[in-house]
Amino acid sequence: MAKKNHENATAGLTPTGKLVHVTYKDLAPNIANPRQLFDAEPLRDLKDNIRLHGVLVPLTVFKLPGGDKYGIIDGARRHICCKDLAEEGTIVSIPCNVVVPPTKVAGLLYMFNIHNFRKAWELMPTAIALEAVIDELGEKDTKKLSNLTGLSEPQVERCKILFDVPEEFRKLSLDPNPIARIPSNFWIEAMPLVDLTKEVLPDIYRELSRRGLLRRLVEKYRAKKIKSVIHFRRIIEAYENTKENPGESRRFIRALTDYLSNVELETRAAFDGFVEDARKVRSALEACEQFLDSLKRTKVEHITERRDELAASLKDARRYIDRLLTALEGEDDPTLKDKGEGEDGDR
Amino acid sequence: MVADYCLALWLWGRFGEYEPFRVTPRSAFRWLNQFSDPEKRAIAKAVRYLSYVSEHRFVKNLIDRNRALLSKLKQGKVPLTNVIYVSIGEAGSSSHSILNLVRDRAGLQNLGCRFTDGKSYDALSKLTNQLGAGAIVYVDDFAGTGEQFCEEQEQLASYIIGNFSQYYLLHTVCEEALYKIDGNGVTPWQHSIHAKVDRPLHEDSTILTTHERRILRDLCVKIGDGKRDSLGHGSVAASVVFYRNTPDNVPRIFRGGRQQKHYLGLVPRTTDLPKPSIE
């Protein structure tokens, strides 16, 4: 249930009617977003302008609790310019409109809306802040959250996946050491694999549990056996490619069992075979389609010139196709073999 | 010789309570005797400006400043239960020890103040989200360049949810750090400011003649094996020693070589000392 009404929570900033003139030292960058990553060139222009004319448009600030400084709500770029100018020896008096301190949620929403124009945050802090917004407003709808925060809908969705990540693992993505930190998208990419394991390997899922599975994947990641988190997608792709084919599907399940039980088994080494075979078949099907289409479009049935040459070429193609068909009909054809096994077993 | 012995006695009197390394007349004498006469003359002049902060002074100064800060926050209508003390740096760094010291000596737990480790982003995020507004007080003994602090503060500030003013409670801050910390939106709340002119080996200081300074700076480079920061981290050339450790911004001449090889120090940092044998 919503704790607060949206409109109350996100109401506009209330002016105190106070205009103050301060120096850059009296202002604190937005605590919620201290990364002042702005393009250098427009900032240089603004600085030159301030050097010549001073700060013409007042900043919007609020008094920080128990402090002498004002928190900046609007005007971070002007503040940076004034700070730079001070370093060069020019102290600028900065006019500021003082407003009532924003509520926690208004501050958060403001932060979301400005950080869209700056370098994106790491996903985990964004998710934590979004969770605080949801908790405060009780709003869970992705579209509405996207409108409120300025985050794109896919970003909101990705954050939502992170809400379900147990705290034990969240902490791994908040490790201050970037080398030891598990990237936030690790969980996003790993979750479908955990769900897949639950579906196709229920015994292993029960034995290890969701946490145990995630721990195992972290172990593999730390052992550099998951070279990129997007390699998890290959496992899902391998499953999709094999699920209609009982024999292949069994092979996939064996591979997944090995993969989950053996930390040293690398993702691509375990699953590329399924993905590459499927890709080859897809390419071959496309080639067949293109070949037939192109040939039909030429309408060569009634030509009179260079008939022998064309016939020789078509025979070459037929020879190659016959050879391929024979190979596909051989005893190594997994489809045929599996069909047989399936019939024996089921009936 | 007599002058050296007198100076050694004086050094014992000043640094005798330094905890990481026992400073005695003998150790001070040995330290002085590593240098040539012209070097000794410059050292004798410089070392008189190497100030020592005893445990008693350190604790008193820090607790007084903390009391002033809490009083200011109280006046600003910040409930003490919304004041979060944060340690910074790696586990085992000075900030953690100082925070524990302030917490116990000032009875902060009884006042309802909160505590967290700056490396625990998750805990900080939850705590600030729960409180909504208040003050964050980072704690340490000394800031030299302020760069390391600002880097960490910027990192963890993105996990703070709500309106919080930020303070940096510390005993001594170098003037260059003061500017940097203040510019980052954090109010330095120190007992004293360590000015460049008070540091004999700093270029802005006139305590030594140019010639004397050059002698000592060359000596620092020699002791530091020609490595960067022989004048202390960030070439701050700080001239202050705390009873519990010497800041890494103090020049090599006072700290000695790494593991005290080749050159002994007068007041080596804990990390400058040889590794203890575990037998």
Residues 6+ away with beta carbon under 8 Å from B88? B95, B118, B138, B139, B140, B149, B152, B153
What pLDDT is stored for residue A150 in this prediction? 78
Q: DSSP class of residue B192?
A: E
What is the full DSSP assignment across A282-345? Answer: HHHHHHHHHHHHHHHHH--TT--TTHHHHHHHHHHHHHHHHHHHHHHHSTT-HHHHHHHHHHHH
Residues B222 and B144 in one domain: no
Residues of B in contact with A62 (CB under 8 A): 163
Domain carrying residue B163: 55-194
- At position A70, the amino acid (one-letter code) is Y
- Contact predicate A70/A22, CB 8 Å: yes
Nearest chain B residue to A129 by CA distance is B161
Q: What crossing angle do the helices spanning B147-157 and B175-183 adopt, rounded to 10°?
A: 20
Residues of A in contact with B162 (CB under 8 A): 104, 107
Residues B72 and B142 grouped into a single domain:
yes
Same domain, B86 and B151: yes
Nearest to A275 by CA among A245, A247, A227, A233: A233
pLDDT tens-digit profile of B136-147?
Answer: 999 999 999 999
Inter-CA distances, A315 with A190, A305, A329, Å? 50, 17, 21
Is there a contact between B135 and A67 if contact means CB atoms under 8 Å apart?
yes
Contact A69 B185 (CB under 8 A): yes
| Residue B140 maps to a domain | yes
CB B161 within 8 A of CB A105: no
Query: Does the residue B199 lie in any domain?
Result: no
Residue A129 at interface with chain B, using a CB cutoff of 8 Å: yes
Nearest to B157 among A34, A65, A104 (CB): A34
Same domain, B71 and B142: yes
Examine the domain organization and report whether B70 and B90 are in the same domain: yes
Which residue in the set B135, B167, B183 is minimally distant from A25, CB to CB? B183
Average pLDDT over residues A301-320: 88
Answer yes or no: is pLDDT of A341 > 70.
Answer: no
pLDDT given for residue A308 in this prediction: 87
Check pLDDT > 50 for residue A32.
yes
What are the pLDDT digits (tens) for B227-240? 778 999 999 999 99
Distance CA B119, CA A258 (A): 37
Does A200 contact chain B (CB < 8 Å)? no
Q: What are phi and psi of B83, to 5 degrees?
A: -100, 120
Q: Which candidate from B74, B125, B185 shows the least CB-CB separation from A31?
A: B185
Q: In this structure, are B185 and B64 located in the same domain?
A: yes
Domain count, chain B: 2
Cα separation, B21 vs B264, whole angstroms: 11
What are the chain B neighbours of A129 within 8 Å (beta carbons)? 161
Question: How confident is the model over B96-107, as pLDDT tens digits?
Answer: 999 999 999 999
Tell me which long-range contacts A77-80 makes (C-beta under 8 A, separation of at least 24): A77/A38, A77/A43, A77/A46, A78/A46, A78/A50, A79/A24, A79/A27, A79/A29, A80/A36, A80/A38, A80/A43
Indicate the helix (H) or strand (E) that contains A229. none
Express each pLDDT in A42-60 by its tens digit. 788 899 999 999 998 899 8
A28 contacts B159? CB cut-off 8 A = no
Task: Calculate mean pLDDT across residues B139-163.
Answer: 89
pLDDT value at residue B263: 92
Order of all β-strands in the sheet with A27-28:
A15-22, A94-99, A59-63, A70-74, A27-28
Q: Is residue B20 part of a domain?
A: yes
Nearest chain B residue to A135, by CA: B129
A232, A238, A239, A241: CA torsion to nearest 10: 150
**B122 touches B150 (CB < 8 A):** no
Q: What is the mean pLDDT of residues B39-46?
A: 94
Label residue B230 exposed, middle or buried (CB < 10 Å: 0-12, 13-18, 19+).
buried
What is the rounded distance in angstroms from the CA atom of residue B4 to the CA atom of residue A149? 70
Cα A313 from Cα B109, distance rounded (Å):
90
CATH number at residue B142: 3.40.50.2020
Q: Is A312 exposed, middle or buried (0-12, 13-18, 19+ CB in 10 A)?
A: exposed
Task: Kindly list the residues of chain B whose beta carbon comes within 8 Å of any beta carbon in chain A.
Answer: 72-78, 82, 119, 121-122, 125, 129, 132-135, 152-155, 157-167, 182-187
| ipTM surpassing 0.85 | no
Asked if residue B222 is part of any domain, the answer here is: yes
Q: What is each CA distance from B84 to A63, A175, A239, B29, B134, in whole angstroms? A: 19, 21, 50, 46, 8
**Rounded Cα gap, residues B72 and B79, in angstroms:** 11
How confident is the model at residue A346, as a pLDDT? 32
CA atoms of B178 and A116, how far apart (whole Å): 32
Same domain, yes or no: B42 and B146:
no
- The pLDDT score that the predictor gives to residue A14 is 65
- Of B194, B214, B238, which residue constitutes the final position of a domain? B194
> Given B148, B170, B194, which residue is the final one in a domain?
B194
Closest C-alpha among B24, B185, B214 to residue A76: B185
Q: What are phi and psi of B86, to 5 degrees?
A: -125, 130
Does residue B201 belong to any structural domain of this protein? no
Instruction: Give the predicted TM-score (pTM) of the model.
Output: 0.70
> Do B63 and B46 sit in the same domain of this protein?
no
Q: Are residues B154 and B254 in the same domain?
A: no
SS3 content of chain A, % helix, strand, coil (to 5): 65, 5, 30
Picking from B275, B279, B272, the residue whose alpha carbon sits closest to that of residue B253 is B272
Over residues B195-209, the mean pLDDT reads: 94
Cross-chain CB nearest to A104 (options B157, B162, B187): B162
List CB contacts (< 8 A) between B81 and chain A. Answer: none
Closest partner CB to A34 (pick from B154, B161, B187): B154
Of residues A29, A101, A171, nearest to B163 (C-beta) = A101
- Asked if residue B180 belongs to a domain, the reply is yes
Q: Which chain A residues have a beta carbon less than 8 Å from that of B164?
A: 31, 64-65
Residue A327 structure tokens: 């190979």
Interface contact A13, partner B, CB < 8 A: no
* Residue B112 CA: distances (Å) to CA of B75, B106, B108, B115: 17, 12, 7, 10
d(CA B29, CA B40): 11
Strands (DSSP E) contained in chain A are 15-22, 27-28, 59-63, 70-74, 94-99
Q: What is the pLDDT of residue A114?
A: 62
- Of the candidates B134, B152, B157, the beta carbon closest to that of A65 is on B134
pLDDT at A115: 56
B107 and B10 housed in the same domain: no
Are residues B74 and B177 located together in one domain of the fold? Answer: yes
Give the distance, in angstroms, between the CA of residue A339 and the centroid of all CA atoms in the same chain: 40
For residue B83, give the chain A residue with the closest CA: A66
How would residue A266 be classed by pLDDT, with cut points 50, 70 and 90? very high
Q: Which of B194, B228, B262 is the last residue of a domain?
A: B194
B112, B182: one domain? yes
Give the 3-state secondary structure of residue B117: strand
Percent of chain A residues past pLDDT 70, beyond the cut: 83
Of B240, B266, B237, the C-alpha closest to B254 is B266
Q: How many CA atoms lie within 13 A of A55 on its CB side?
A: 27
CB pairs under 8 A between A and B: 101
CB contact under 8 A, B163 and A24: no
What distance in Å separates residue A92's CA from the closest CA in chain B?
14
Burial of A296 (0-12, 13-18, 19+ CB in 10 A): exposed
DSSP string of B131-150? H-EEEEEEEEEEESSSHHHH
- Type and span of the H or E element at B265: none
B200 domain-assigned = no
For residue B86, give both structure tokens: 């944060």
Q: Report the distance separating Cα A33 and Cα A20, nearest Å.
A: 23
Contact A149, A113 (CB under 8 A): yes
B157-185: average pLDDT: 91
d(CA B142, CA B253): 20
Residue B185 lies in a domain: yes
